[in-house]
Structure 1
Amino acid sequence: MTTQLQLPYGPHWGTLASLDDVATVETDALLRLRVRVDEAIRRRTILVVTGRFGTGKSFGVARAVEERAPVHDVDVVWLEMQASTGQRDQWHELYYEIHGYYPAKSATIGDVIRMLKHDLAERPRVLVLDEAQEVHKQVSKQLRWLHEPKSSDFGLIFSGTPNLWHDLLPGAIRSRTGHHVKVKGLSDEDAVKLLPQFHPIFATADPDDLRRWNRTRARGSFRWWARILENAVDLLPHLDGKLTDRAMAVICADLPEGMS
């Protein structure tokens, strides 16, 4: 994944994006993700991406969509789902992401769905629902119905937590899904191989320390390592200049383990 690119939609890395020497690193799962996202865009299929919080799935999807959508001249509709919204609100938010304004307050769910049926057939699009574990089941079913006709012209990507696949997505969607990509956290060996490429600060650490910190503190979360990098850039010059156990004790202080 990259942290230097400023995505026009989807998640951002905040201050991490502006740090010097941050480089691109990609796990095997994210390489597969790029291929599957391209297929969903090109063939207008359904793709499901699942993984724990912090594994980089949302950023990986955003990066792949940003790369591949222009190649296929496809518009991107990115919607981060919210836990507190009802079915009507979710449809209105989707309408807003397409049009830039909300439908009339008097519009019913049926009204919005009928309007979106026309919208989603008028030109090629990819619809990305991030935090898709928050999508209401009835909304998912209706989206599948909108996707089904030959006149529809959009790829559909659900990205969410592991329980999305079996517990939350209706069988009608699972049976029509082209691929299900499971994004796992960094393995201990991934940490040793990829983190020094991510930023040279990690090259100052003993590989055995990286393995141990990944196993006991990060628990495979790339997001945790990204926060460690932000802290290390600020604090390491005031310590011994290397990621030793003593330095990590200061840098990691009060950070939740794994953030999963």
Structure 2
Amino acid sequence: MTNTTTASAPDDSGVDPDFYLDLPDARIVATEALLEAGENIADTIDARAMSCIYGDAGLGKTFSVRAALKEVAADLVLLLQFRSRPTPRDIRMELFDVLHLEGKPPAHPSEFDRLLKRALARRPYILVCDEAQQFSRECFEFVRHLYDTGKGKSRPAVLFVGGEECYKTLYNEPALASRIYIWQEFTPMEPAEVAKNIPLFHPIWANASPELIDFIDQEAGGGTFRMWSKITHHVLEGMKRRGLSEVDETLARWAIRRSRPARPVRRDDDR
């Protein structure tokens, strides 16, 4: 569980994971969640099934999925990611682009869907729906429709990756929930996991005291790699400015103040 692999430069073998803020010298840590995600994704691909990986923001869901898909040929991974609520039409257009289909997109939905089904059946694609909390029930149903028309190895494997809303929408629709092969929830690391994993995550924490790591996690880290990436980025900047070679509590407190609000933001009805 404690083995690490240094993140490599992007290549053509698959989708390369990115560290938050492009944190220099950060390492991929083989956490239990990452290893479990790798197994679940491999099983989903082998079964040509639909699975759901969900959890709060900053827990490493997308990072873990991309790390697990690193060994899959890049042209088989169809990544769909929308920052705002998409419609089925948006999904159709995005698939048209990522499948590199020629000509103009069909004007009628039924004709468009037939074109996509034929294209998806040609190769063993993996359809990754990232930020799937943005998907409406209609969008999930559309992806299910594309999936259900495939047969055996000709159907795409589908990974829904998103926040709690993704889970709730899928779970509360029996026709959708019954088709989810594997559910995996990402949760914050427990204190023991933080103590084990953070020294492996970045060289500056390798010799830090367990007490300091626990203090930082309790104050701001919250067991999430995104927050730890942010704190580490600030610590590196502080070390450079101060000419320090290691982290001390004063520097840690400075990084924590920069990494999170000093106090809860008041709501309008509290003012």
Q: TM-score range by the shorter chain?
A: 0.7 to 0.9
Q: CA deviation at 1:192?
A: 0.9
Distance 1:103 1:214 in 2: 52
In the other structure, the counterpart of 2:169 is 167
Aligned-partner residue type, residue 117 of structure 1: K
**Is the 2:21–2:230 Cα contact (8 Å) retained in structure 1?**
no
Distance 2:15 2:194 in 1: 28
**Is the 2:220–2:259 Cα contact (8 Å) retained in structure 1?**
no
Q: CA deviation at 1:90?
A: 2.4
Matches within 5 A, 1:1-260: 4-7=7-10, 9=15, 12-13=18-19, 16=22, 19-20=24-25, 22-67=26-71, 69-70=72-73, 75-99=76-100, 103-104=104-105, 107-151=107-151, 152-168=154-170, 170-237=173-240, 238=242, 240-256=244-260
Q: CA 1:2/1:229 → structure 2, altered by over 3 Å: closer, same or farther?
A: farther
TM-score of the pair, normalised by structure 2: 0.82
Q: Which 4+ stretches in 1 moved above 4 angstroms?
A: 100-103
> Number of aligned pairs?
251
Distance 1:102 1:132 in 2: 28
RMSD: 2.5
Could you give the per-residue CA deviations for residues 86-127 of structure 1, whole angstroms, max 9, x where no partner exists?
3312221122111167843x6233332221111111111100
Q: CA deviation at 1:183?
A: 1.2
Q: CA 1:102/1:64 → structure 2, altered by over 3 Å: closer, same or farther?
A: farther
Distance 2:103 2:18 in 1: 25
State the secondary structure of the residue aligned to 1:65: helix
Distance 2:243 2:250 in 1: 9
State the secondary structure of the residue aligned to 1:252: helix
Q: CA 1:97/1:10 → structure 2, altered by over 3 Å: closer, same or farther?
A: farther
Residue range with higher mean Cα deviation, 28-37 or 132-141: 132-141
Structure number with greater Rg is 2
- Unaligned segments of structure 1, at least 5 residues: none
